[in-house]
């Protein structure tokens, strides 16, 4: 039996994580094996590091990664060894339930979450059905490829759900990876003006990066500046056409009805660690705004994300703050915990 190195969540607690050897299984007849080349640490994995996310142990973690095909199953005819790919994550989807038949396999009750219930990509190799593959264009770097998954989360919210119209003024709450990707994608999709917000804790790393991104017109530290006055000034008193909530911060969420225009659209992307958030429901009602919650992604989102990567219109390289060998994944978590990193990438150490 062949072996490979991987990061495994074996049990609760930080001591329950291990960089260890696991089985390197052969691809099934309709699968390919991907030699993983680059990995991203997701905020949800930081939640998992603190046992604030579901999982089924033991499991190889990771869902942000790209690589090249290293082996193909006997029935695979459309893909060949050496092609660079990313993979959709709808493993276990039945294909017959209401959600699968509507093209929303990410909500299939039989689905398994890659990196949480099903072995993921924090490993030297990863096997997946060929039907989930998307080819990366030659001009897309491995680092950009590793960010395809968070980018398609943004595409699900902005493109698939059709929330943006040309010349919209968009405010993005939160300047993490998802927030900054959402800001860049909004401009590519036709927004006239894009604003991004953060707080004092973001001044060390995130806000300086946000200020360097050409697609972002204005960056606001809400603890130093009056966001209500700024939004009023930037929108001639109307309010933002679209608010993309990517912060998960209670105060920011509670402030949204004061910043959105009447009949505007709020798109919620950010998970929150807060058990409860106090809202003035009447403020939302009186604005007659639309609130859309976006979770997961479908084929069209992946397709758009891969096309956006190929267009080279997104300054994704500016999001990368650290590159580490996979064995140093805990250092990556520590950098994110201390707010010293934004996008931390990991690289398998292939034998």
Per residue in 118-177, pLDDT tens? 999 999 999 999 999 999 999 999 999 999 999 999 999 998 788 999 999 999 999 999
d(CA 331, CA 347): 13
Token pair, residue 273, equals: 């660690």
Distance, in Å, from the CA atom of 236 to the CA atom of 230, rounded to the nearest integer, reads 10
Mean pLDDT for all residues in the chain: 96
Token output for 247: 């912060």
Q: Are 9 and 114 in contact (CB under 8 A)?
A: no
Whether 297 has a pLDDT exceeding 90, the answer reads no
245 pLDDT higher than 80: yes
On the question of pLDDT at 82 being above 90, the answer is: yes
Residue 162 has a pLDDT of: 87
Which residue pairs from 237-241 have beta carbons closer than 8 angstroms and sit at least 24 positions apart in sequence? 238/262, 239/264, 239/287, 240/169, 240/170, 240/171, 240/195, 240/264, 241/165, 241/168, 241/169, 241/170, 241/265
Domains of the chain: 3-149+297-347 (3.90.180.10), 162-293 (3.40.50.720)
Q: Tell me which of 35-49, 108-122, 260-274 is least confident.
A: 260-274
For residue 154, the Cα-to-chain-centroid distance in whole angstroms is 7
CA distances from 253 to 172, 273, 289, 308 (A): 11, 13, 14, 29
pLDDT of residue 296: 85
pLDDT at position 132 is 96
Tokens of residue 330, six digits: 């805990």
CA distances (Å), 288 to each of 8, 68, 283, 336, in order?
46, 48, 9, 37
The pLDDT of residue 351 is 56
The per-residue pLDDT for 13 is 97
| Alpha helices (H) in the chain, listed in sequence order | 43-49, 98-101, 142-145, 148-155, 177-188, 206-212, 227-234, 250-259, 281-287, 299-311, 329-337
- Strand-strand pairing, 65-72 and 31-40: antiparallel
């Amino acid at each position: 039996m062949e072996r490979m190195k991987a990061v495994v969540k074996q049990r609760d607690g930080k001591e329950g994580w291990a960089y260890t050897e696991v089985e390197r299984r052969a691809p099934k007849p309709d699968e390919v094996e991907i030699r993983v080349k680059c990995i991203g640490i997701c905020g949800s994995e930081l939640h998992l590091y603190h046992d604030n996310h579901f999982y089924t142990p033991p499991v190889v973690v990771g869902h942000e990664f790209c690589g090249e095909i290293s082996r193909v199953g006997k029935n695979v005819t459309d893909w060949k060894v050496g092609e660079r790919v990313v993979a959709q994550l709808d493993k276990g989807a039945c294909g017959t339930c209401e959600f699968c038949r509507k093209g929303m396999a990410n909500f299939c009750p039989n689905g398994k979450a890659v990196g949480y219930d099903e072995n993921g990509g924090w490993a030297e190799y990863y096997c997946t059905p060929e039907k989930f593959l998307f080819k990366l264009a030659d001009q897309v770097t491995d680092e950009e490829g590793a960010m395809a998954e968070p980018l398609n989360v943004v595409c699900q919210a902005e493109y698939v759900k059709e929330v943006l119209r040309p010349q919209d003024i968009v405010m993005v709450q939160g300047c993490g990876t998802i927030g900054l990707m959402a800001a860049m994608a909004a401009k590519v999709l036709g927004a006239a003006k894009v604003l991004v917000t953060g707080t004092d804790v973001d001044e060390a790393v995130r806000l300086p990066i946000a200020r360097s991104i050409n697609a972002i017109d204005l960056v606001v530290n809400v603890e130093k500046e009056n966001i209500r006055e700024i939004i009023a000034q930037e929108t001639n008193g109307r309010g933002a056409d679209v608010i993309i909530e990517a912060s998960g911060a209670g105060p920011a969420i509670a402030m949204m009805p004061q910043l959105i225009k009447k009949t505007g659209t709020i798109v919620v992307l950010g998970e929150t660690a807060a058990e409860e958030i106090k809202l003035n429901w009447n403020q939302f009602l009186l604005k007659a705004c639309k609130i859309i919650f976006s979770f997961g992604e479908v084929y069209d989102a992946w397709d758009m994300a891969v096309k956006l990567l190929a267009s080279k219109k997104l300054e994704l390289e500016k999001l990368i703050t650290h590159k580490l060998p996979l064995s140093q994944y805990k250092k990556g978590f520590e950098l994110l915990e201390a707010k010293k990193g934004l996008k931390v990438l990991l690289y398998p150490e292939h034998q």
